[in-house]
Amino acid sequence: MPELALKVRVERSGFTLAVDTALALTGITALFGPSGSGKTSLLRIIAGLEPAAHGQLRFDGERWSADGRRPPPQQRGTPMVFQDTRLFPHLDVAGNLRYAERRADRHRPGPVRDEVIAALDLAPLLPRRVPGLSGGERQRVALARCLLARPRLLLLDEPLAALDLQRRAELLPYLEKLPVLFGIPSLYVTHAVDEVARLAEQVLVMANGRIVASGETAAVLERLDLPQLTGLPETGALLDARLRRHDPALGLSELELAGQRLSLPQVDAAPGSRLRLRVRARDVALAREPVAASSIRNQLRARVLAIEEQADGPFAEVLLALDGGDELHLRARITRASARELQLSPGQPIHALIKSVALDGEPLAQEL
């Protein structure tokens, strides 16, 4: 497992990036934060594309300069998937792939051409010219091109950001299976928390040019101070659940979470499989007593772990642990007024109410 240590600094007018951290690279590591927080700059420093950067990197025991001089980008083994794909317009798809393949270090292990083409379903695209490809197709080719360069570390800079929702949904499964398939450590820049939840094993949270939080994805995403740290309002929690059964007549699926049930619009997975589910904090309501005669289908028994009230806003975020599963956490976003009326305090039993429709279309990662 290669280790990446960064001690780098860039100063531009009105913006300073200063990062001093070390992490073990395994699977996909997300670099997460709002626009302008320095995620892309950090990725470019690692690739050796930021001549104005100062400092040092250490990758897998090698010393790299932050300004991209020693070693230069072409000797780092860190191919980058860009948001705007950057396919070579004067070559066809096969030519773009060959470009990377020919320049790959033969002494490095890496996926072979046929594997990559099969994994990304590129066979029909090979003779096509770049200008005729759709956004999703371009990004698949860009991904394949980088894989054929035999990466030591794969860098992905918001690869889904320029795509519409449907193309995004088409591309996500490819991104998801890559680390498993080829065992290449990846750094994935995004400002979409859904992508972090679905793809990343660990996450570095950036804001204002600094790393403000890091750790395992589930633990970081349920931190109550995440909205304050990142300025991103969309908070939530990850739940690992088992699919119990489908109810095709009503179009619902039922999940099991430490003995409790959660129903949601039918998902495409076999009963018994394990699923990862992200529940947004704003979709969770709280009640002291079980609610009778309600349209809300899911009522989970839980305990309050912590409460964080906004200093000057109307909201409070409450972290909960489900009964029977200390590892299963939920977050609820309620008003400060409700928090006072419910007299919430740590350790207090509570009922978490989740509308099934709120879970419709949520990212569900099937664990392999």
Partner 1 sequence: MDYGPLWLSLRLAGITTGLLLLLGTPLAWWLARSRARLVPVVEAVTALPLVLPPTVLGFYLLLLMNPGSALGGAWLSLTGDTLSFSFAGLVVASLFYSLPFVVQPLQSAFAAQDHGLLEAAATLGAGPLDRFLTVASPLALRGYLAAAVLGFAHTIGEFGVVLMVGGNIPGRTQLISIAIYEQVETLNYAEAHRWSALLLLFSFLTLLLVYTVNRRSLPRVA
Chain contacts with partner 1 (rule: CB under 8 A) = 47-49, 72-80, 82, 84, 86, 88-90, 99-100, 103-105, 129, 131, 145-146, 149, 155
Give the Cα separation of 196 and 188 in Å (integer): 9
156 vs 332, beta carbon nearer partner 1: 156
Name beta bridge partners: 309: 316
Q: For the beta carbon of residue 286, count every other beta carbon within 10 angstroms.
A: 20
Least distance in Å: CB of 276 to partner 1? 31
Least distance in Å: CB of 137 to partner 1? 16
131 vs 347, beta carbon nearer partner 1: 131
Q: Is the peptide bond before 71 cis (omega within 30 degrees of 0)?
A: yes
How does DSSP classify residue 292?
Answer: P
29 vs 78, beta carbon nearer partner 1: 78
Per-residue three-class SS string for 58-94: EECCEEEECCCCCCCHHHCCCCEECCCCCCCCCCEHH
- Using an 8 Å Cβ cutoff, are 303 and 349 in contact? yes
- Using an 8 Å Cβ cutoff, are 354 and 366 in contact? no
153 vs 318, beta carbon nearer partner 1: 153
Least distance in Å: CB of 67 to partner 1? 14
Helices 135-148 and 165-182 pack at an angle, to 10 degrees, of 20
Least distance in Å: CB of 45 to partner 1? 12
149 vs 334, beta carbon nearer partner 1: 149
51 vs 272, beta carbon nearer partner 1: 51
Least distance in Å: CB of 156 to partner 1? 12
Least distance in Å: CB of 214 to partner 1? 25
- Using an 8 Å Cβ cutoff, are 35 and 191 in contact? yes
